[in-house]
A = this chain, B = another copy of it.
Amino acid sequence: MPSKRLGNTVPASHNARVSTTRSTLPSERRAHLVHLAGELFAEKGFRATTVREIADAAGILSGSLYHHFDSKESIGDEILTGFLDDVLAGYRGADADDPRAAIEQIVRTSSATLTRHRAALTMLQRDWNHFGAQPRFAYLRDAMREIEKTWITHLERGKKAGLFRADLDAKLTYRLLRDVLWMPTSWRQGEGGWGTDEVVDAFLRLLFEGINAPKRRRITSKN
């Protein structure tokens, strides 16, 4: 399994990260600060969010943040590592033999993970250029590579099994699908009043069947 190989890499780099930070005990207070920061980063972007805003949200002075974190960057780091660890765990768990089932597993597990890490995902999308460029965030690229590999594997297996259209460009489809899957997360919470499940279901139907009305409904008893 390719994910196994990559699996060693990513958490490793993550752990290396964490040790950089002063305290290893999430310590409740610290976790709260990370959460606050995440919300702000998601809302306004990483660069556009100032440490003072984070500190204000926490009711302390900006300088005091540095008792908890080395730098603003390390807060972002902590948020993103936590997120990607969860995502990868989900992907690795989606190991059904049937490619369609596997993909459905991925979609459903992602949906849950993404909801939990809404802010982190938004950060990732929004500030990918910022983070992706720095060596410190190499683990981001590693994680994305594992995710890509997982999708492509399932799509190709589906094609070979005659389940998916033979002319699917697996890589292109992956890009399209992953981005679509990640997209609703960035929609402002409850923007359209859609629950997570609604979106996922709509997405899955769209994905497997398209928007067309069923072709010859009289004969086929649906799907």
Chain A residues within CB distance 8 Å of chain B = 43-45, 47-48, 126-127, 129-130, 155, 158, 162-169, 171-173, 175-176, 179-180, 183-184, 187, 192, 194, 198-199, 202-203, 205-215, 220, 223
Contacts and interface: CB of A to CB of B under 8 A. Distances in A.
A125 to B, nearest CB: 9
Copies per complex of this chain: 4
A176 B162 contact: no
Given A126-B126, A179-B179, A206-B210, 15 more contacts: A48-B130, A163-B212, A164-B211, A165-B223, A167-B223, A169-B198, A172-B192, A172-B199, A175-B192, A176-B180, A176-B184, A176-B202, A176-B203, A206-B207, A209-B212
A176 B172 CA distance: 17
Contacts of A194: 169, 172
B45 A129 contact: yes
A205 B209 CA distance: 10
A213 B171 contact: no
Contacts of A205: 165, 210
Contacts of A44: 129
